[in-house]
Amino acid sequence: MISGLSINADLSSEMNGVLTPEALEFVRQLQTRFGARRFELLAARETRQKRIEAGELPDFLIETQHIRDDTTWRVPPPPTDLMDRRAEITGPVDRKMVINALNSGAKVFMADFEDANSPSWSNCVLGQINLRDAIRRTIGFTNPEGKQYALNEKIATLKVRPRGWHLPEKHVTLEGEPISGGLFDFGLYVFHNAKELLSRGSGPYFYLPKLESHLEARLWNEVFTFSEEYLDVPYGSIRATVLIETILAAFEMEEILYELRDHSVGLNCGRWDYIFSAIKKFRLRPDFVMPDRVKVTMTSHMMRSYSLLAIKTCHKRGAHAIGGMSAFIPVKNDIEANNKATEQVRSDKTREATDGHDGTWVAHPGLVPVALEVFDRIMPSPNQIDKQLEVNVTATDLLTVPTGGVTLAGLTLNISVALQYLEAWLNGSGAVPINNLMEDAATAEISRAQIWQWVEHHTKLEDGNVVTLELVKNVLNTELERLGTERFAKAAGLLLEVATAKPFIEFLTLPGYREMA
């Protein structure tokens, strides 16, 4: 019914409630107007990667120096319901999670169509239904045991993370080609909910993932401006926080804020994808080999420099600087382990609040009170935007590789976590508790990228052995025997592909998505 647009998936009557002709026409308009530019920007990523592989290291851009030097521009003040973001919770868009996250006591819930979401057709479309119902406060859920879930009177402010520019939505094609997953997620959500949110004193608020340049932020800004005109909502109604989760974006923070300007509401330190990005971009350089994943912490020079630069940049421009996600989750039936996890979260959040972050992320409702306690104590005001940092972060600071060795335990952990996560992801779960941590696509990406990097550079382990493809296969087979070969066979095949294939596969979600129905 929509010119050139086809849906190649099963549709239920429930799905038809959001996949209306009017909504799909809006999605078609977005893809028609912005799809080609998206591909140009993805091609520019490949060109940039070739320059890095030829020896070029990233630096702050000369051509945008005037933007950084201009002290007059600032982003607008945050909307009232985003003024205080001291504790934000993230998670997928399944019905129970949406209710629990909104009820968690956090100031903001980021409903995730990206790293915490396995992008099956049903997850993506039913997620839109769940958010629509939550906004209208008609959402409810009853589990198989009969327990009922409903929204509290006071709930978190809702933000949505659509898929990144690199991800397609293969079930919806325009003239035979898959459309952008991000435009699909954004388009359905804003079409159905922008006016409803504004009428309730809120607005269509977003997190933007995986940006690698200010030009990619410019494209989102053009999408926002067009959407506001098309939907007849006031200019600037759409507000977005950009996740600085690629190492290239760290060199363009001010430019990213500038491009979004009236639609901007801050930056976030997406620490896990940032580590993955650093490994990926410099994967062929032996001087950029990372130590065990557990040794790449926010107190390492590279990560701390990036965090401080985000605070300085945001506060200079009147924007929020939101800290990263703690992956720890409560540990049931083990008081000592639970206390240790809680203390690690408290320490992480204390560092963020003391440095000047305006809020932070947690992955589990049980840790919201910990984050709130820290920020309530250190940050009595709604935010710390007035706190101006006098730090000078250089390109060298951002490119200082964390120190530490590589161990067989680290290799085994990477293989085990990636294997278990991919098995769950292929079966529809995008946020998975493993070893008392909440793993998502970003943490799995670190694991498989490290395996690739260590094999590529014949990295020597602390025990004297060298990481080879044969060693990786042996450890993988041991994990398969421990976990159950048959159940994990498909995930094992995908893991070997994304952890060893040459050339390096940019995102594990791309071949993984092809495996999905």
Q: Which residues are catalytic?
A: 161, 440
- How many C-beta atoms lie closer than 10 Å to residue 234's C-beta? 9
Assess contact for 282 and 52: CB atoms under 8 A: yes
Say how many C-beta atoms besides its own lie within 10 A of residue 119's C-beta.
25
CA–CA separation, 455 and 444 (whole Å): 17
Rounded Cα gap, residues 85 and 74, in angstroms: 19
Q: Are 329 and 438 in contact (CB under 8 A)?
A: yes
The C-alpha R_g of the chain, in whole angstroms, comes to: 22
Choose among 282, 276, 275: nearest CA to 457. Answer: 282
CB proximity list for 269: less than 8 A, separation 6 or greater: 244, 245, 306, 307, 310, 321, 322, 323, 324, 357
Q: Is 340 exposed, middle or buried (0-12, 13-18, 19+ CB in 10 A)?
A: middle
What is the C-alpha to C-alpha distance for residues 450 and 436, in angstroms, rounded to an integer? 21
